[in-house]
């Protein structure tokens, strides 16, 4: 490997850093969408969630279930599209903190307790720990810091609106130039 190959590989980092939020947005968005759908659109999922919230003593469990399900379902769609990422991430982070402290904390950290695994690999199922909620929270904090990144609906729309069509100096054909090119062309 030549030195220029190494330099080229290192130089790709800054060009790709705007893509870093994309895997988080897609995974967190899909996860939220997946868990929010039954809370909103299936009687069994909604009834189960309302029952759990009632047992926990949540205020107005039916409304709370719809608010939580709505945040997860519609927030998941918004994350995937890259719209309102920071707001959805803050709300999702608050929901994860509530889940950690109100639901999963008593069972500990582990998603599953592998020390109770049987010789055939089965693990007695019970309430999971807060490991996954903490991972979601970390992802949401990262998205609050980074924003949506370059592959998002707002950034794609910005690129298309930043382009203007200007008359060509060579007849009636037009050329496409960015607003920045227009400003530099118009400056004396």
pLDDT of res. 127: 61
Residues, the chain: 188
pLDDT of res. 182: 47
d(CA 92, CA 29): 10
pLDDT of res. 2: 55
pTM of the model: 0.71
Residue 96 near residue 137, CB atoms below 8 Å: yes
pLDDT of res. 185: 44
pLDDT of res. 153: 87
Q: Give strand ranges (E) for the chain.
A: 163-167, 174-178
pLDDT of res. 5: 58
Nearest to 74 by CA among 87, 62, 60, 63: 87
pLDDT of res. 112: 62
Say how many C-beta atoms besides its own lie within 10 A of residue 51's C-beta. 12
Per-residue model confidence as pLDDT tens for the chain (188 residues):
455 555 555 565 667 788 889 999 999 999 999 999 999 999 999 999 999 999 988 889 999 999 999 999 999 999 999 999 999 999 999 999 998 888 777 777 766 655 555 666 665 555 677 888 899 999 999 999 999 998 888 887 776 666 644 454 555 444 444 554 444 444 44
């Amino acid at each position: 490997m030549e030195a220029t190959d190494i330099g080229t590989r290192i130089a790709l980092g800054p060009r790709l850093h705007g893509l870093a939020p994309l895997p988080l947005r897609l995974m967190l968005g899909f996860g939220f969408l997946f868990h929010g759908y039954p809370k909103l659109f299936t009687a069994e999922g909604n009834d189960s969630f309302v029952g759990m919230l009632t047992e926990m003593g949540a205020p107005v469990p039916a409304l709370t279930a719809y608010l939580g399900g709505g945040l997860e379902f519609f927030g998941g769609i918004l994350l995937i599209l890259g719209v309102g990422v920071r707001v959805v991430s803050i709300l999702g982070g608050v929901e994860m903190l509530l889940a950690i402290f109100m639901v999963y904390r008593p069972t500990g950290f582990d998603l599953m307790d592998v020390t109770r695994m049987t010789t055939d690999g089965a693990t007695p199922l019970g309430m999971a720990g807060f490991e996954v909620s903490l991972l979601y929270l970390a992802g949401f904090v990262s998205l609050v810091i980074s924003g949506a990144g370059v592959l998002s609906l707002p950034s794609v729309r910005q690129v298309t609106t930043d382009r203007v069509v200007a008359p060509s100096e060579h007849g009636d054909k037009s050329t496409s130039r960015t607003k920045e090119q227009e400003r530099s062309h118009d400056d004396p």
